[in-house]
Amino acid sequence: MRKLILTILAAGSLVLSNSATDAEAAINSNSTVVEQSSTESQNVEQVAASKATKLSGTYKFKYNTNVRQDAGTKYKKVVLAKKGATATATHQKKVGKETWYKVKVGSKTGWVLSSLVSKVTTKKAVTSSSKTTAKSGTFKMKYASNVRSGAGTNYKVVTVAKKGATATATHQKKVGKQTWYKVKVGSKTGWVLSTLVTPATAKKASSTVKKASNSSSFDSKVVSEALALKGTPYVFGGTTPRGFDCSGFIQYVFKQAGKSVSRTTLTQYAETYNVSNPQPGDLVFFANTYRSGISHVGIYIGNNQFVHAGGSKAAVVSLNDSYWGSKFHSFRSF
């Protein structure tokens, strides 16, 4: 009798198991999802699952991957996430030796094996800004310049200070590599880039105020200098006739014509003012080309045409061009 009882107990302790061969490794990145368990001999029905805990972050799929109803390959597929697709994680859960993430892919929510995704690290777009410190002195505007509500070109224009206008500084602030002054111009107070002003005690130039005839002559020289550079190769960061980018082209042309201007598209935009009736020699700005916001500049030459360093070389282009016409932002002048 004792032998019989032991035999029955031994038989009752047997546990049936099925080999788990289904898993989430998507090996073919083009179209096929191949699933292979990281623990092929593991019994799926016997894996202990921990409680779901909170998780945050954005992830990208390394392969075409099945997103499932719950943490495990035995659960129904919710959606097939394509390689490179992004997902927002909300929870994580440990199942045996594997970790699963609960993610939202588009409008679908489900679980994915953690080894099949990689975390997306986003660079902070915020430019570091120092504290505002006291600044005193009287300055003159080198050019017609935008005075803004804050220290940066992304702030609203409070007023356009004319070339030669005086401004009283009260504060300064370092934003990235640039220094901005808080100034009072007439009855308006705002911020201006330090490179756009000069101390009022500086020696006055005899050519501070141009006569109309001289201005016209200068603009003609700008256009002729720009047209003489047609065919020069486009080189990102280029500032010489060996190769130009758009703002380097502007800086070089104006220097040849006898005027110093700043180096970048954004600072050239900041030191100019809007004009509704452009004249040859004025600048024409474009937005949302290779980046969002103001991103390209050329020189207006009349007849709805402009010359610029863009594409493969410096060339004359019509503002009726399907691409440039759609990116047009404004005409501006110094």
Q: Is 308 a catalytic residue?
A: yes
Measured distance CA(72)–CA(45) in Å, rounded? 10
What CA–CA distance (Å, rounded) separates 55 from 103?
9
Nearest to 79 by CA among 69, 89, 88: 69
Q: How far apart are CA 300 and CA 308, in angstroms?
A: 9
Determine the Cα–Cα distance for residues 252 and 226; give it in Å rounded to an integer.
9
Residue 168 backbone phi and psi in degrees, to 5:
-100, 120
CA-to-CA dists, residue 334 to 36, 163, 295, angstroms: 66, 8, 18
Q: Is 246 a catalytic residue?
A: yes
Q: Say which of 91, 171, 296, 329 is annotated catalytic.
A: 296
Q: CA-CA distance, 192 to 271, in Å (whole number)?
A: 9
> What is the spatial distance between Cα 65 and Cα 31, in angstroms, rounded to a whole number?
10
Residue numbers annotated as active site: 246, 296, 308
